[in-house]
Structures are given as C-alpha cells and as structure tokens.
C-alpha cells in the first residue's frame, strides 16, 4: 500500500498542530509500507476506471424486496442514533420512528447516542429495563457496545442496525445488519478519483478507525488507489465526535501543514463534507476536490449547481434501510421468515448523472405501502 503517512490532529496549547513521526514511534504520523497490489498499466487503469464508473453510476439499481406477509402485532421498539448532532442521524432516527408508528408499535426515543459507546450502551440498557421488544440502531458500531448488545439479546430483544456492518461474530449472535456493501462503495469512489485525475491523484482520506463501516469504505478506496502507480494518499483520523465541529480541527491542521500538492480529499460521510468544504473556501484553497458518501441533500444541491469543490458522492438507500430494519424486528418477533439485507444497492453520483437523480435512493413505486401491507397480512 502506498502511503505518505498516517496523520493525526493533536491539540496543543489551544491550537491544533500536526505531529509527524516515524513508524513505531507510537503517536502522530506513521509511514506505511508499499503493499503487494498489482499496478495497472495506464491504459488498463483508465479503461478499468471507465468501466467501473459507468456501472456504479447507473440510476436504476435492483433492490431486494421482501415478499412474505405476516401479522406484525404490537410491541415497543427503542430507536438509538449514533449521534443526533449529525443531520443524517437525526433524519433517519425520525424515519425509523415513522416506520415503527406505521406498524402500530410504540416508539421509545429517538435517543441521541452522542457518538459515545457509553451513552449508546446506556440507552440499550434502558430499553432492557423498559422491556422493549426491539432495539433499532442507526450507524452505530455494535462492536464498541458488545456487552450492552449481548444483554439485550440475552433478554430476547431483537437488535437491528441500519447502515452497519457488525461482522460475523455479532451477526452469529443475532444482530441484524441492514447495509450496502461499504467496501464496494469505497471502490466506486476510488475509481472515480482515478478517472477524474487521469491516474495522478494525491488523496487525503479521512478515517474513523472505531467505525467498521468507515474502515470498510477506506479499505475499498485504498485497494483501488493501490493499483494506480501515479496515485498516493494519506489518512487523517477524525473521531466521529469531532466530525461536525468547525474545520474539523484535524482537517484545518492538515491544510496548514500541506498548503499545496493534494488533488482530492474523501470525507467518510457527508456530515464531514460541509465543514471540510467551508474550511477550503475560507482558506482560499481551490486545488482540492472533496468526495464523500451518503448523498446528503445539501451536498447534492451544491453538486447539481456545479460546485468545483465537490467531486462525487455515493448514495445509500437510507430511508429504505431504516424501514427494512424495522421490518426485520417485526418479522423476528412474529416468527416470520427474514430476508437478506446485507447487500443493499448504492449509486455513485457525479456531475454527469446528478441531474437525473431524485433523492433519496429508493425502490420505484410506493414501497412504504409494500411494507405496511406485508405487516398486516399472512
């Protein structure tokens, strides 16, 4: 893997500075070793990028749709978002609440997880005490709250997580993930960057090591960039709790340390895109193009207007995922057959196809009615 270092923002004496040091020093930036990835010839690289981008930008992906109806009955579900300070988390918590209400069930919350495992786990324990039938999580790393999740599962509470990739161990215990393929999303964004830069990208990649979905996206992105002989990248660690802060501080520090030379940056979700692009504008930087994930309407609006700061965005079926998570909880409590929700579709949005995209990414037709009809039939 080609790396020019892992960059961490460090707050010292009231100002953010970027600390760089060699591998094995224990903190700051570390240099990475070159991986064994096969470098593609320039012609092969560009033809592959064109092929991959063409496939990823199709606006008519195929959605899995449940078919078996059942009687949902009644019950109580707790809704817990990773952190309501992030607009997409607040929005999807309300979407989940609406779906639970449409099923005739009672909602506890939505609760603000504050991007804190301690807070998130505490709300799960509250759900256990309230004898809830289910817990709905949005974009929460289940592996950081294993003890609380295990207590919920032990109490026969169904735990479903939208936009989560909890891993085989958590799934084997009963956690129900509703998610697109995050690694493939990273690959799609990587091929776009390769194509946009004609194989000469230098990319700043924001990461949150505590979030398994972000780790998977980063793995896919870097796997593609490693095939590009003329590409390089750095990682910037930005904890989720800092992602909505002005700057964020780690990004501000990175730009100060690197006044030129970078062509692209990747925000690990759109909650980061707005502060990152604002910081670019305020710094007078026009050399860096920001790409991201999750297709926030505010970001898409700027893309549609031709913002030179924005490259591509990956749209996930957020509303559909949230409703699907509710469906899985209802099915589980009713003893009805579940369906595979671990490979939902996504779409790569660029300046070329954004005009034809109507958010959110979702199936055609009245799919909400499809769910509510299934919940009242057997």
Q: How many residues does the chain have?
A: 378
- How confident is the model over 186-216, as pLDDT tens digits? 999 999 999 999 999 999 999 999 888 899 9
Query: pLDDT category, 240, cuts 50, 70, 90?
Result: confident
Q: Give me the percent of the chain exceeding a pLDDT of 70.
A: 90
Same fold, 6-59+182-315 and 76-179+318-344+365-374: yes
Distance CA(334)–CA(375), nearest Å, equals 10
pLDDT at 234 exceeding the cut of 90: yes
> Where do the domains of the chain lie?
6-59+182-315, 76-179+318-344+365-374
Given pLDDT bands bounded at 50, 70 and 90, which one contains residue 378? low
Summary mean pLDDT of the chain: 89
pLDDT band of residue 344 (cuts 50, 70, 90) is very high
pLDDT the model gives residue 33: 34
Residue 8 has pLDDT above 70, yes or no: no
Nearest to 341 by CA among 176, 131, 99: 176
**Element counts in the chain: helices (H) and strands (E):** 12, 13
Q: pLDDT at position 4, please?
A: 34
Residues sharing a CB contact under 8 Å with residue 360, sequence separation 6 or more, in sequence order: 295, 315, 317, 318, 319, 320
Mean pLDDT on 350-371: 95
pLDDT at 16: 22
Query: Which CATH entry fits the domain spanning 76-179+318-344+365-374: 3.40.50.1820, 3.40.50.10190, 1.10.520.20, 3.40.50.2300?
Result: 3.40.50.2300
Other beta carbons within 10 angstroms of residue 300's beta carbon come to 20
Q: How far apart are CA 91 and CA 96, in angstroms?
A: 9
Q: Select from 299, 317, 309, 286 the least CA-distant residue to 354.
A: 299
Place domain 6-59+182-315 in its CATH homologous superfamily.
Response regulator (3.40.50.2300)
E strands along the chain, which residues?
Answer: 6-12, 15-19, 76-81, 106-112, 134-138, 158-162, 176-178, 202-207, 232-237, 264-266, 289-293, 310-315, 347-349
- Residue 366 contacts by C-beta under 8 Å, 6 or more apart in sequence? none
As a whole number of angstroms, the longest Cα–Cα distance in the chain is 64
Res. 226: pLDDT tops 90: yes
User: Using alpha carbons only, how large is the chain's radius of gyration in Å?
Assistant: 21
- pLDDT given for residue 19 in this prediction: 23
pLDDT tens-digit map of 276-322 = 999 999 999 999 999 999 898 889 999 999 999 999 999 999 999 99
Residue 259, pLDDT score: 95
Tokens representing 366?
A: 């009245």
What pLDDT does 14 receive? Answer: 24
């Amino acid at each position: 893997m080609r790396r020019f270092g892992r960059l961490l923002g460090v707050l010292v004496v009231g100002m953010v500075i970027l600390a760089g040091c060699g591998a094995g020093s224990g903190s700051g930036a570390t240099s990475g070793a070159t991986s064994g990835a096969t470098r593609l010839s320039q012609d092969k690289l560009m033809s592959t990028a064109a092929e991959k981008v063409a496939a990823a930008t199709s606006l008519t992906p195929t959605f899995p749709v449940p078919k078996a109806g059942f009687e949902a009955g009644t019950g109580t579900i707790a809704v817990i978002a990773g952190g309501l300070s992030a607009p997409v988390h607040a929005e999807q918590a309300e979407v989940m609440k609406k779906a639970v209400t449409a099923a005739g069930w009672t909602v506890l919350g939505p609760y603000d997880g504050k991007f804190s495992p301690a807070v998130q786990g505490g709300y799960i324990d509250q759900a256990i005490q309230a004898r809830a039938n289910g817990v709905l999580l949005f974009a929460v790393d289940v592996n950081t709250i294993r003890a609380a999740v295990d207590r919920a599962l032990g109490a026969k509470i169904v735990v479903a997580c939208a936009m989560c990739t909890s891993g085989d161990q958590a799934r084997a215990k009963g956690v129900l993930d509703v998610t697109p393929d995050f690694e493939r999303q990273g690959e799609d964004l990587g091929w776009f960057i390769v194509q946009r830069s004609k194989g000469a990208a230098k990319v700043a990649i924001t990461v949150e090591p505590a979030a398994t979905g972000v780790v998977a996206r980063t793995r896919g992105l870097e796997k593609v960039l490693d095939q590009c002989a003329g590409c390089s990248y750095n990682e910037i660690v930005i904890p989720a709790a800092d992602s909505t802060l002005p700057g964020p501080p780690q990004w501000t520090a990175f730009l100060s340390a690197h006044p030129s030379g970078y062509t692209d940056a990747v925000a690990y979700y759109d909650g980061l895109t707005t502060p990152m692009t604002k910081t670019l504008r305020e710094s007078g930087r026009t050399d860096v193009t920001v790409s991201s994930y999750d297709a926030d309407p505010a970001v898409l609006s700027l893309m549609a207007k031709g913002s030179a700061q924005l490259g591509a965005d990956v749209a996930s079926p957020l509303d559909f995922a949230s409703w699907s998570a509710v469906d899985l909880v209802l099915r589980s409590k009713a003893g009805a057959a579940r369906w595979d929700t671990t490979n939902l579709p996504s779409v790569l949005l660029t300046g070329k196809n954004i005009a034809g995209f109507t958010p959110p990414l979702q199936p055609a037709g009245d799919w909400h009615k499809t769910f509510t009809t299934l919940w009242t039939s057997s």
